[in-house]
Structure 1
């Protein structure tokens, strides 16, 4: 009886601890500035229009869920598909996506605002609105003209991912076997310097390793990896960052924002996705179908449901731990890739309402409240401020943003 009573007492104590941790995580999500540097809402809405100022069916982001999750400043990704470099449509497309975010703000001025500086972002959050800074994913829209950089900076772009899935006129891509520049092009090197002068953060996600090391040599201010994870857990996946790169990023003062996508986090997930891809390609050959076929889509969806291995919250936390062990908490942030990685998000982090799960996990792994506050937004804000300060000291550059 005494053993049973002790077991019950321990269970009750455990439940109490769980409840207290949940309460603490919820409080911190609402209390601390929470910045996520990569959410693909504009592209999602361009493909399938919806009003994310209200509750939506599907997708990973809307206003009610963001409020529940404590999200204050989600960077809206102005994502430009690689093919738009070659057909010349990238600049206009980027402007249209920015117009779309501005339209969302115009429909819901009590809920959203677009900042051009840290101070504007902080004022918007203090007023109870969700601040929507803009990040350009793929510098194709610069189109070889530095005036376009200043045009987009004036429209609110606060970081630029130099390339995406293919090499462009700025940089080689980690996903592209064709390395035409062996890193950055001559224009790309010039662009990095001008981004520093303009107060626009350089984003090293997606670029090749050679391009990363060249950015490290050129940039006079800290840079970010807006949505990357640790290659330590996904050997051979160049899209993630090696330990050496993470150390260099930290030495530069920068921040790696951890991507939540299962295939960024888990090698088992990557292997399952590769098997599904191989099986789909075989099915296409056998049936004489192309990838746009509805039959192929249904076949792939079924395999995803049956075979895909999702990462767990603990897998995501392992990436945070690894970076902490390498360089400390001052160089970690959140770059979820919500609305950008499809149905591949880990259990416990399925949409923007679930940041408290991440916070609780960090607390359970002995991160202090101060540490968690840095990860949630403090580290990114520090880098953003340093970029602004550098730009203000360089009169030939574009303004870092309105104050």
Structure 2
């Protein structure tokens, strides 16, 4: 990708090598593995989406210490260099249009605050780009928050403002079902044909408050309406590319990527195998289709359905994606629209056991960086992917909000 080679000279070789290093920034004799470890330890790494709050809601564990299960805890984050993961305040679509939706969102925010409260020497909340940068200087892991599913807003701009005051800095407008804000990519009922009237009003208010508009999960029509309305750049906090998964609307197609780049936004690549690998996508789609056929005859909770799923999983083991597959998605964005519009949105703790080989938890970020180096990305390129692109969007959102 951006490899630049300097001719080998026998005279003044040190000067020539120094010139080479202005593009690669990799010290002489440093292996890619060593460089990857250094880069991850010396730089901010922003991950757009990690589902720790909902994980600890389901089964409490203390992620300020080592944990046996899950994809995130403090020791593994330190090992991987992850220091600015957006904590996902995820509210299931099943709670849409209920007070429980709003109550759960507040409870999950409480849980993030509790993590910081238990280990203020390790973690700190982050309400701004400045907070992230200051926490990094103090060797603390920032925990900014994004809300996955705007359902808790419940049609109230006053409630939206409360969530901003509590620290929500992006909102994924919908999740797996159409809600009062937006149609979902997963929901065949396109009741709004994009955004609802309130959804359009809410995007405007999000710009005024300084909340990033997140278009992961929404329908294509909702995406285009959101970027048309928003004065600020938008993000896809944890999405991948439809070029690799044809027909999977949850991912973004090339026209959407071009529109996102024109909006100055960022797509943050989801690591889940089903998001990045066509083989894994087909495996899950086939299992779902056949299970649904049985469910129409015997019922969703029937033994026949359970037996089929168990047999399917045994006879056709899940085809995990690899690190290389994830890198292919990053390459595609860079080739199509440029290095400025791609970031990382792993979906750790949110995609179950479907994570790719060599990217199984947050300790694996050096593997990702090593892979980027091997594909010819410069150190400056990698910094853009790891933090600068997302922080640039966040800063612009802050500036637009201050301007009113």
Q: Specify if TM > 0.5.
A: yes
Deviations along 1:65-85, one digit per CA (max 9) or x if unpaired, are 000000010000000100111
C-alpha distance 292-34 of structure 1, shift in aligned 2 (>3 A): farther
CA contact (8 A) 1:276 1:307 kept: no
Residue 367 of structure 1 corresponds to: 377
Distance 1:208 1:285 in 2: 27
Q: Could you say what secondary structure the match of 2:88 adopts?
A: strand
**Separation (CA, whole Å) in 1 of partners of 2:310 and 2:80:** 29
Within a 5 Å distance, the mapping from 1:198-347 to structure 2 comes to 198-281=209-292, 288=298, 290-291=300-301, 300=309, 303-304=312-313, 306-347=316-357
Summarize deviations over 1:261-281 as a string: whole Å, max 9, x none. Answer: 001001111111123334544
CA RMSD of aligned residues (A): 1.9
Deviation at 1:289, TM superposition (A): 5.9
Gaps of 5+ in 1: 1-16, 395-403
Question: Are the equivalent residues in 1 in contact too, given 2:194–2:220 (CA < 8 A)?
Answer: yes
Structure 2: 5+ residue runs without aligned partners?
A: 1-27
Aligned residues: 376
CA-to-partner distance for each residue in 1:306-331, whole Å, 9 max, x for gaps?
Answer: 42111111111110000001111110
- Structure 1 residues 239-289: Cα deviation after superposition (integer angstroms, max 9, x where no partner): 000101001101111000000000100111111112333454466678x46
Q: Indicate how the Cα distance of structure 1 residues 281 and 186 shifts in structure 2: closer, same or farther if over 3 A, else same.
A: closer
Q: TM-score, normalised by structure 2?
A: 0.89
Q: Are residues 1:154 and 2:165 paired?
A: yes
Counterparts of 1:298 and 1:136 in 2: how far apart (Å)? 36
Distance 1:23 1:276, change over 3 A: same
Change over 3 Å in CA distance of 1:124–1:298 after alignment to 2: farther
Corresponding residue number in structure 1 for 2:102? 91
Runs (4+) off by over 6 Å: none
1:113 corresponds to 2:124: yes
| 2-structure distance, mates of 1:81, 1:229 | 21
CA contact (8 A) 2:295 2:302 kept: no
Secondary structure at 1:366's aligned position in 2?
coil
Contact 2:344 2:386 in 1 (8 A): yes
Match of 2:391 among 358, 361, 381: 381
Alpha-carbon distance, 1:392 to partner: 0.9
How far off its partner does 1:124 sit? Answer: 1.2
